[in-house]
A = this chain, B = another copy of it.
């Protein structure tokens, strides 16, 4: 310290190296830097150190120079081109590509002729850096996204098909090259930095897959250390969700329809949000509510622009929507539940739908997005099933008890009808409270005309007070859920640009 910038120091330094016949690859000394750095070939490194120490022996002894530090296992990457300085943002693109991928610059040099920007990085980061820079500069603005998909059931395999069908369009129109870099089902996992062809994944996973372990999947994903990595969880697994924290902390984005992480403890939800914000990586889960319908993004836009949410009402379950939309004069409640089950709208045991547990997870997520620290226990659920129905020991018994309760349901329906209303089983968030209720709604309410198995989300806000903002459509199913995840992956890709 104190020597750098002093006329003659640089001259003596490079004079000494020259006398020793050592070629200097790169030099850099910042404007208020207390040191001067230069790079030489690994073979020359020790010799260079000794030679410089000899030259400055006196200054080293009296402490005018702190020491000569040798750093090893480094690599120099450089981008080279004519007139780069006249193309705005070249350095920006370079360092953005490195920075977004967590690659540190040990040293940087760019001369004013700017034919070249050189960056010294850790040798371990070399291939990741080359990859990121290759995309950033040479693939005619094509950007590679590296997907790590866990879960290849209905949603996962549909997503893979959609990606395959849309790959050319995305490459051409949006400059996105989507690579399936990692893939796993509950038994096997497979990695390929070159990408697993989305039309051949099944055979390859079967043939080349190694035994699946979620811990090792995450470890491998981190070790691959690839640019623009996105983890996609297409499971409903608690185990998988428990790894989100460490995934986000490694600067890897997440997109998922899995509701576990966002709807379990508020503390976990909050921690994941904070880590994602700290690392600057997206953690997205639009498909948690209403599948591909624009629900969470709409809510976020309202809140960010300062609207005040007065009420959110949601028919958030396709099966419950179907059941109550079709419960009309001349029908029997138990028949409709049976029909819903036959069509595959409900779980094999329809009570899993009718007890409102899944809807509760969804309204909790919406509540948390509005800033409320709600827990599951804070959501009051109206039990619409009489106790005997609820406690029936089997599905068969359940239907028998439900049939016996048909009069009970018919009475409720008729009471509503006499007021000109219909029954809707919906989640309601209002005054900081969330509840799941059997509502009676009249023709003035958007729920009144709901049909089929549509979801409907009704936002009543300060700005949408007289008439609400309503989103409606199928809120379940592999096609639209996978499409929602896919759209989210593309949004993340655009953000990582």
Enumerate chain A interface residues (CB-CB to B < 8 A): 5-11, 13-37, 39, 69, 71, 76, 78, 80, 85-86, 88-96, 98-100, 102-118, 120, 162, 165-166, 169-170, 174, 251, 280, 292-294, 297-298, 301-302, 304-307, 444, 446, 448-449, 451-454, 463-464, 466-474, 479-480, 483-484, 486-487, 490-491, 494-495, 497
Within the complex, which residue of B17, B91, B446, B470 is in contact with A7, where a contact is CB–CB below 8 Å?
B17
Within the complex, which residue of B92, B95, B469, B486 is in contact with A473, where a contact is CB–CB below 8 Å?
B469
Give every chain B residue within 8 A of A35 (Cβ-Cβ).
Answer: 111-113, 115
CA distance A78 to B31 in the complex (A): 7
CA distance A116 to B35 in the complex (A): 10
Within the complex, which residue of B15, B33, B454 is in contact with A467, where a contact is CB–CB below 8 Å?
B454
Give every chain B residue within 8 A of A93 (Cβ-Cβ).
Answer: 99
Asked whether, in the complex, the Cβ of A25 is within 8 Å of the Cβ of B17, the reply is no
Chain B min CB distance to A112 (Å): 4
Residue of chain B at shortest CB distance from A165:
B306
CA distance A467 to B455 in the complex (A): 11
The oligomer's copy count stands at: 2
Q: Nearest 5 CB-CB pairs, A to B? A: A92-B99, A166-B306, A95-B95, A11-B15, A37-B111
Asked whether, in the complex, the Cβ of A91 is within 8 Å of the Cβ of B78, the reply is no
Give every chain B residue within 8 A of A92 (Cβ-Cβ).
Answer: 95-96, 98-100
CA distance A449 to B113 in the complex (A): 68
What are 24 A-to-B residue pairs whose CB atoms are below 8 Å? A5-B25, A7-B24, A10-B14, A24-B29, A26-B30, A30-B117, A30-B118, A31-B76, A31-B109, A34-B115, A37-B111, A88-B104, A95-B95, A105-B114, A107-B110, A166-B305, A292-B463, A294-B297, A301-B491, A304-B490, A305-B484, A305-B490, A449-B449, A494-B495
Asked whether, in the complex, the Cβ of B85 is within 8 Å of the Cβ of A106, the reply is yes
CA distance A20 to B8 in the complex (A): 10
CA distance A346 to B490 in the complex (A): 40
Asked whether, in the complex, the Cβ of A467 is within 8 Å of the Cβ of B473, the reply is yes
Chain B min CB distance to A470 (Å): 4
Residue of chain B at shortest CB distance from A491:
B301
CA distance A472 to B298 in the complex (A): 12
Asked whether, in the complex, the Cβ of B486 is within 8 Å of the Cβ of A116, the reply is no
CA distance A35 to B69 in the complex (A): 26
Residue of chain B at shortest CB distance from A290:
B469
Asked whether, in the complex, the Cβ of A483 is within 8 Å of the Cβ of B17, the reply is no
Give every chain B residue within 8 A of A78 (Cβ-Cβ).
Answer: 30-32
Chain B min CB distance to A459 (Å): 8
CA distance A24 to B144 in the complex (A): 42
Asked whether, in the complex, the Cβ of B118 is within 8 Å of the Cβ of A31, the reply is yes
Give every chain B residue within 8 A of A37 (Cβ-Cβ).
Answer: 111-113
Give every chain B residue within 8 A of A22 (Cβ-Cβ).
Answer: 7
CA distance A11 to B15 in the complex (A): 4
